[in-house]
Amino acid sequence: MSTIAVLGRGRVGNALATALTHAGHEVRVADSSPGAAAAATATAQIVVNATPGAGSLERLTTLGERLRAKILIDIANATVDGPDGLPAGLLYPGSSLAEQLQDALPDTHVVKTLNTMLYTVMTAPSILTRAPTVFLSGDDAQAKQVVAGLLTDLGWHQEWITDLGGIETARATEAAILFVPHVIRSRGFAPFAISIVH
């Protein structure tokens, strides 16, 4: 069992918090306000960033000391949104939110995952008709192993988890967010994920 702080009280944060609690972990949920986030992360071993990506870097860098030596699971996508509110571009082209967080928090183990699917799939991957793929990006192998364990708690089979390598690989998965508006316009707001087929 891990002590986990989920930052973000939106649909994504609440769904993850509920699923991780059902899996037996001690979970605290906080909104993105500095005081609530600081309190939630104080005793947590693992912190999940489920805050809106455009403001994640600023929010999390204020928690630098509290995040020292902890695992930060970053599931956010930092985008520039179009007139319809859907992602139209990347906030960090040529980089990624995960890389920016790792640079700003060098003593924190940042792991990028769960950012290439509709939020409903994060905690229920088996709802899809075909096996989905979830990716891991991060510089610390042990941290990625811990996160992979949490993914299995959320229903992800081991063979569905693909470790892409270092944190720089997060720029590839974050760029996948640009598929989302087109998929939603084409198929509606239905569960989907990227699947790597061998």
Residue 173 domain flag:
yes
Range of the domain at 85: 3-187
Residue 198 domain flag:
no
Q: CA-CA distance, 148 to 151, in Å (whole number)?
A: 5
CATH code: domain of residue 130 = 3.40.50.720
Number of domains present in the structure of the chain? 1
Residue 197 domain flag:
no
Contacts of 118 (CB under 8 A, 6+ apart): 180, 189, 190, 191, 192, 193
Backbone angles phi, psi at 28, to 5 degrees: -120, 135
Q: Encode pLDDT of 164-192 as tens digits.
A: 999 999 999 999 999 888 888 888 888 98
Contact 88, 43 (CB under 8 A): no
Residue 31 domain flag:
yes
Could you give the maximum distance between any two Cα atoms of the chain, in Å? Answer: 46
Residue 69 domain flag:
yes
Average pLDDT, the chain: 94
Q: CA-CA distance, 193 to 160, in Å (whole number)?
A: 11
Q: What is the pTM of this model?
A: 0.95
Cα angle at 177 between 62 and 97, to 5 degrees?
25
Instruction: Look at residue 94 in the predicted model and tell me its pLDDT.
Output: 94
**Confidence tier at 25 by pLDDT (50, 70, 90):** very high
Q: Encode pLDDT of 55-104 as tens digits.
A: 999 999 999 999 999 999 999 999 998 888 889 999 999 999 999 999 99
Residue 192 domain flag:
no
Structure tokens at 4: 């986990």
Instruction: Look at residue 84 in the predicted model and tell me its pLDDT.
Output: 85
Structure tokens at 36: 């609530």
Residue 193 domain flag:
no
